[in-house]
């Protein structure tokens, strides 16, 4: 499946990383994993041939995936992360003092172990935080079986291929809706918008019947092909999407956040979608 997805999506073009030094490579129980050094991007991890994260720009993606929902919500205490094996999402969630517990459901223990060893600054000790509860398992099964409910759910999955394919299905989104608290927010990486407009439309159609608001926001993530990462956004609390700038700034200060990419102004601007995505969603 991995090759078919990649061949379809990147037919005729793509990006190349020179692997200056391979630090670790293996076929895990679930996917092919390689971690290598690259002169420009530092240490890089790829799963099934798709770049997941680099030392140089990981903060862009992890900050925007976490602080947009958490500062929109304003008082989240319980967070669920699906995937996220490199630990960057967990690290950023734990920066919020309102968060009492984070449950992370990651299918591949080896990704966690190897990222702790070769990309230690991604998790930066987050896996040892007493507020972190790590579950090794399939995210789609977890959300459809758990009795727990969460204020924020973040799906930091691989692309819709291999083990990640199930995390882009209606069954997964139905499970999300069933374990999201009233007023909760769900966000998910939904591909790079310039290439994956159809995925944006498909996700919107699958989320719309389950939530009062299914939308998207974007961030410029340099190493994801196409440069603009699209994040799916879903909530039944309409007010969360249009939080006043002054409120976001107050919450940012109250949390004493230290960020390198995220700002409250950028947060607000990230919901302004390119014309071609709005047209695709409208005509979808």
- 82: part of which helix (H) or strand (E)? strand 78-83
Minimal distance in Å, beta carbon 171 to ligand SAM? 11
Catalytic residues: 156
By the criterion CB under 6 A, which residues form the site for ligand SAM?
A: 52-53, 61, 82-86, 105-108, 111, 138-140, 156-158, 163-164, 166-167, 189
| Ligand-binding site membership of 62 (annotated) | yes
What's the burial of 65, exposed, middle or buried (CB within 10 Å: 0-12/13-18/19+)? buried
Rounded Cα distance between 117 and 121, Å, is: 10
- In whole angstroms, how close is the CB of 10 to ligand SAM at the nearest point? 14
Residue with CB nearest ligand SAM?
85
Please, which residue, 166 or 280, has the CB nearer to ligand SAM? 166
- With respect to ligand SAM, which residue has the nearer C-beta, 89 or 277? 89
113 is in an annotated binding site: no
What Cα–Cα distance (Å) separates residue 150 from each residue in 101, 173, 194, 256?
Answer: 10, 14, 31, 23
156 is in an annotated binding site: yes
CB of 232 to ligand SAM, least distance (A): 12
Spacing of C-alpha 99 from chain mean position: 18
Q: Is 31 annotated as a binding residue?
A: yes
Task: Please say whether the beta carbons of 109 and 136 come within 8 A.
Answer: yes
Q: How many residues belong to the chain? A: 284
Q: In angstroms, give the least distance from the CB of 167 to ligand SAM.
A: 5
Nearer to ligand SAM by Cβ, of 108 and 151: the residue is 108
Q: Which residues pair with 238 in a beta bridge?
A: none
The annotation places the binding site for spermidine at: 62, 86, 156-159
């Amino acid at each position: 499946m991995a090759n078919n997805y990649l061949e379809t999506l990147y037919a005729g073009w793509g990006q190349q990383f020179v692997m200056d030094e391979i630090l670790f490579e293996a076929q895990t129980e679930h996917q092919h994993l390689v971690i290598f050094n690259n002169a420009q991007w530092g240490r890089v991890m790829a799963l099934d041939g798709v770049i997941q994260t680099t030392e140089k720009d990981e903060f862009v993606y992890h900050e925007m995936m976490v602080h947009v929902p958490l500062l929109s919500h304003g008082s989240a205490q319980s967070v669920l992360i699906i995937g996220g094996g490199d630990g960057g999402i967990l690290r950023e969630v734990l920066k919020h003092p309102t968060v009492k517990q984070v449950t992370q459901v990651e299918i591949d223990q080896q990704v966690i172990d190897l990222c702790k060893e070769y990309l230690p600054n991604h998790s930066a000790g987050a896996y040892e935080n007493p507020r972190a509860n790590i579950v090794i398992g399939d995210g789609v099964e977890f959300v459809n079986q758990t009795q727990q409910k969460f204020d924020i759910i973040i799906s930091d999955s691989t692309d819709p291929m291999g083990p990640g394919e199930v995390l882009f299905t209606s069954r997964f989104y139905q499970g999300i809706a069933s374990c999201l608290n009233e007023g909760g927010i769900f966000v998910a990486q939904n591909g790079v918008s310039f290439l994956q407009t159809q995925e944006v439309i498909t996700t919107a159609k699958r989320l719309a019947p389950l939530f009062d608001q299914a939308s998207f926001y974007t961030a410029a993530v340099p190493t994801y092909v196409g440069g603009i990462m699209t994040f799916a956004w879903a909530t039944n609390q309409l007010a969360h999407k249009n939080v006043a700038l002054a409120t976001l700034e107050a919450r940012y200060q109250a949390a004493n956040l230290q960020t390198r990419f995220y700002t409250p102004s950028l947060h607000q601007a990230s919901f302004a979608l390119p014309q071609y995505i709005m047209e695709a969603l409208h005509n979808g």
